[in-house]
Amino acid sequence: MSIPVIDISPFLSSDRAKLSPEALQTVESLYDACTTWGFFQITGHNISPTVVSDLETYTKDFFALPLEEKLALHVRNGGVAWRGYMPFEGERTHGKLDAKEGLYVGPDHPSDHPLTGMPLHGANQFPDTALPLMRHAILSYLDAIVDLGKSLTDAFSLALGLEREKLRDVWLTPEPVSIMRCFRYSVPEVNSSAEANSTNDAKVNEQGIGEHTDFGYLTILKQETEGLQVYSKDHGWVPVPVIKDAFVCNVGDMFDMLTNGRFKSVPHRVVLRPGSPARLSWPFFFDFSWNAPMRRLHLPHPHGELNLPQELTEEEKEEARVRWTGTTFKDVGGEWWQYLAKKVMKVFPDLKLPDFENNVAPSSRFAIAVPTGN
Ligand SMILES: O=C(O)CCC(=O)C(=O)O
Ligand SMILES: [Fe+2]
């Protein structure tokens, strides 16, 4: 039992004016996956294998650099742009340290970009001297994934009974806000005396990333090694197998709320096994544009060739309400940037951004508080 694997090539290659029967089937499969698991893997996505293998190569080279060189690119130097190196165990989930280090990257905004200086906007920190080709490799990958995210958005729009370009227009214009985290998970080595004494096992940190849901719209993740698990009401914690060339996609909390609970944002985590090799993964957070209105979608009654979207049962509506009480948000309203601002305020306590009363406490995932303004 595992999350669905969907070949999206029929949708990508279909005539825009009139979808082929296979493309309609792909849209329906995406709908089924988002309304049940909230997670799926995609194949047939047209992203060049070279772009992906370059990402893998340079990420490995980056993590192999001496610690001082990585620390010189510390995420705190990048301020609210939230780009740079996050040291091992620099973050926690629900108070517990995550056994991973990361490099956070995003589209490279020049200093005159209108949103430079705002959360998740600004310049990257790449090791340009040690790895001069890394910058181009990562930025090429990001471009490709943004395109993929836009195509998936069109498919979601159709799956929800809306015009193909509707969600792209309302949610992603002029440009989506995005960030990718390149992660290297590893279990700290246990010394032999601790190994001999099984009562010490509890000291080993097997939490790669603790149970959580993602916060925004859509996550598109590349994983090289197993370890990711998804929670299903019917099946408990289910491992997500590594499929070569596939991307793992999942619905975020805000996407769930904006679809009135049709698409589900579900808990997931990474569990590490002591003695297993380091695990690399690249979650890409594809989010709404800065000013996108956070309004619940008015979804038409089931219509069109696929007779979607389906009505929720009373039980499903109640389940959705329960899911939402567990998320970061109290309610929906305002614009996307206000949610982002709340989220980063915890990490950047002296960031002066207008408050947004409808939202609740921001994330408590970060183990370090990063002062701004040097
Ligand atoms: O690394 C993974 O497989 C999952 C990462 C994740 O869930 C996250 O960063 O939100
Ligand atoms: Fe996640």
CATH number where 146 lies: 2.60.120.330
What would the mean pLDDT of 313-327 be, rounded to a whole number? 91
Strands 268-271, 207-212: pairing is antiparallel
Q: What is the mean pLDDT of residues 92-98?
A: 87
**pLDDT score, position 373:** 35
**351 alpha carbon – ligand 2 mean position (Å):** 25
Ligand closest to CA 223: 1
- The 10s digit of each residue's pLDDT in 235-257 is 999 999 999 999 999 999 999 99
Q: For ligand 1, is residue 230 a contact (CB within 6 Å)?
A: no
Judge whether residue 365 has pLDDT over 50. Answer: no
Could you tell me the distance, in angstroms and rounded to a whole number, from the CA of residue 228 to the centre of ligand 1? 7
Q: Is residue 73 situated within a structural domain?
A: yes
Mean pLDDT, to the nearest integer, of 15-25?
Answer: 93
Note whether 119 and 82 are within 8 A (CB). Answer: yes
The residue type of 260 is: N
User: In the structure, what pLDDT confidence band is assigned to residue 303 with cuts at 50, 70 and 90?
Assistant: confident
Res 86: pLDDT: 95
In a domain, 197, yes or no: no
pLDDT at 136: 98
What pLDDT does residue 280 have? 97
E runs forming strands in 215-346: 218-223, 228-232, 236-239, 247-251, 268-271, 279-289
Its domain, for residue 70, covers: 5-189+204-368
What proportion of the chain, given as a percentage, has pLDDT over 90? 69
- Residue nearest (by alpha carbon) to ligand 1 atom 5: 283
| pLDDT score of 361 | 40
What pLDDT is attached to residue 274? 86
pLDDT at 200 over 70: no
pLDDT value at residue 349 = 65
Buried b (16+ CB within 10 A) or exposed e, 105-124: bbbbbeeeeebeebbbbbbb
Q: Whose CA is nearest to atom 10 of ligand 1?
A: 214
In a domain, 196, yes or no: no
Count CB neighbours of 168 within 10 A. Answer: 18
Range of 149-163, 189-203, 292-306 with top mean pLDDT: 149-163
Please identify, by atom number, the ligand 1 atom nearest to the C-alpha of residue 214. Answer: 10
Number of domains composing the chain: 1
Does residue 194 belong to any structural domain of this protein?
no
Q: Is the pLDDT of residue 370 over 50?
A: no
Six-digit token string for 71:
């620390």
Contact between 183 and 281 (Cβ < 8 Å) = yes
Contact (CB, 8 A) for 1 and 239: no
Nearest Cα neighbor of 344 from 361, 327, 330 is: 361
Quick one: angle between helices 21-36 and 134-159, nearest 10? 90
> Given this model, what pLDDT does residue 353 score?
55
What is the per-residue pLDDT for 255?
97
Burial of 135 (0-12, 13-18, 19+ CB in 10 A): middle
Residue 300: the pLDDT is 86
317: pLDDT strictly greater than 90: yes
Between 105 and 97, where is the model more confident? Answer: 105
* ipTM value > 0.90: yes
- Could you tell me what percent of the chain has a pLDDT over 70? 88
Residue 297 lies in a domain: yes
CA–centroid distance, residue 212 to ligand 2 (Å): 6
Question: Is position 10 within any domain?
Answer: yes
Q: How far is the CA of 316 from the centre of ligand 2 (A)?
A: 23
Please give the pLDDT value at position 196.
45
CA-proximal residue: ligand 1, atom 6 (nearest): 283
Q: What pLDDT, in 10s, does the model give residues 114-154?
A: 998 888 999 999 999 999 999 999 999 999 999 999 999 99
Look at residue 190 in the predicted model and tell me its pLDDT: 59
- For a mutational test of ligand 1's pocket, the pick from 179, 242, 268, i.e. the residue with the most ligand atoms closer than 8 A to its C-beta, is 268
Q: With a 6 A CB cut-off, is 162 part of the ligand 1 pocket?
A: no
* Side-chain half-sphere CA neighbours of 10 within 13 A: 15
pTM, rounded to two decimals? 0.91
For the beta carbon of residue 218, count every other beta carbon within 10 angstroms.
26
- pLDDT at residue 205, rounded to an integer: 78
SS3 162: coil
Residue 287 lies in a domain: yes
Q: Report the alpha-carbon distance of residue 64 to residue 23 in Å, rounded.
A: 43
Q: Give the model's pLDDT for residue 357.
A: 43
Better-predicted residue by pLDDT, 193 or 372 = 193
Flag whether pLDDT at 360 surpasses 50: no
Q: How far apart are CA 246 and CA 27, in angstroms?
A: 17
Average predicted confidence (pLDDT) for the chain: 89
**Ligand 2 centroid, distance to 268 Cα (angstroms):** 6
Task: Please state the φ and ψ torsions of residue 178, each to the nearest 5 degrees.
Answer: -145, 155
Cα(214) to centroid(ligand 2), Å: 5
Higher-scoring residue by pLDDT: 374, 358: 358
Do the domain assignments include residue 295?
yes
